[in-house]
Structure 1
């Protein structure tokens, strides 16, 4: 399992939201830095003492009031739509794809995302050293992926669990589903036993 394949299984969580947040933060940082540079007079004393709303710009806006208002309204509506779309995309439940194994009319065969996750979870829980597992099928119908979380007993051979997961569990899942590649993100955690009471 390469890093590229694992990253594909996590793509929805990382790509869109983080990129947009980074760009918005970068623009805000650059705007603040520019305001500080101008305010401290680095670009000249005259620019540092000018009012925040430039009189020349205010005169131009006064002379072109109607187009300026229309542009401001259009920009505001555009920002509102983009913000709502980003919010709804972030809050939307992640799709869990069903996989079409056979699309022949009258003999369609579809494996649900829950069945895929349940089968892989049952196999993963049989591995030596694994106390429990949680599996989610994510992605799309054309490009499914898995997110696997394994809770390990204390003292478990981590390398052995990793090899068994790759060569047995995930290889069986790829073979059963007829997929050459099944991107998988694996998270390993140490299973904490219940605290013992002292008498």
Structure 2
């Protein structure tokens, strides 16, 4: 996921909250008789948001109020889900490393990612690697995306990735297992005209 997406997401969420807060504050100020701008549709405590005619227009329909309440409930749940999603980390910040004698240390997830990227990109046939560590601090998982050179053998690259880079990472972090999801993609070279 691009780094700008969470920033844009949080910015949009903040702007939405600010607009709703300002609108609610303006309605409350008008209801309390405080000064509001002349263009504001509700200017005093006697004004209402919906006229009696607007409120009673759909009143005879039995589906109207359950539909309105259900739609508002769905909007509220979506808003809460969106808010909580902002605080969820997509990558693992720290990995719990435990030695055989019971000592415990924390390894930064980004540090292990950068070491893995360096080792994987040194494999023959790998043009570029993107690696993310996810899961729990005691049971991390690795997501690997490899861009392979046109001559690379996917089977050989996958075998060396598992036997070398992932095994080194697992043993150096003292983990019993390090499951990995690997996605391979071949680099495309376009024909060039030779003069």
Q: Give deviations 1:120-155, integer Å, cap 9, x for gaps.
A: 111111212112211111222132111111111112
Shift of 1:115: 0.6
Match of 1:176 among 172, 179, 188: 172
Q: Does the C-alpha gap of structure 1 residues 197 and 88 become closer, same or farther in structure 2, counting only changes over 3 Å?
A: farther
Partner of 1:166 in structure 2?
A: 162
What secondary structure does 1:79 align onto?
Answer: helix
Residue 80 in structure 1 maps to residue 63 in structure 2: no
Higher relative contact order by CA 8 Å / sep ≥ 6: 1 or 2? Answer: 1
Partner of 1:149 in structure 2?
A: 145
Q: Give deviations 1:38-82, integer Å, cap 9, x for gaps.
A: xxxxxxxxxxxxxxx9x8x84xx9xxxxxx97x888755543332
| Structure 1: runs of 5+ lacking an equivalent | 1-52, 62-67
More helix by share: 1
| Structure 2: runs of 5+ lacking an equivalent | 1-57
Equivalences for 1:1-199 in 2 at 5 Å? 58=62, 75=70, 78-89=73-84, 93-102=89-98, 109-193=105-189, 196=192, 198-199=194-195
Larger mean CA deviation between 76-85 and 175-184 belongs to 76-85
Question: After the TM superposition, which parts of structure 1 deviate over 6 Å for at least 4 consecutive aligned residues?
Answer: 71-74
Q: CA RMSD in A?
A: 3.3
Aligned residues: 133
TM-score when scaled to structure 1?
Answer: 0.54
Shift of 1:157: 1.8
Contact 1:151 1:189 in 2 (8 A): yes
Partner of 1:28 in structure 2?
A: none
TM-score when scaled to structure 2?
Answer: 0.55
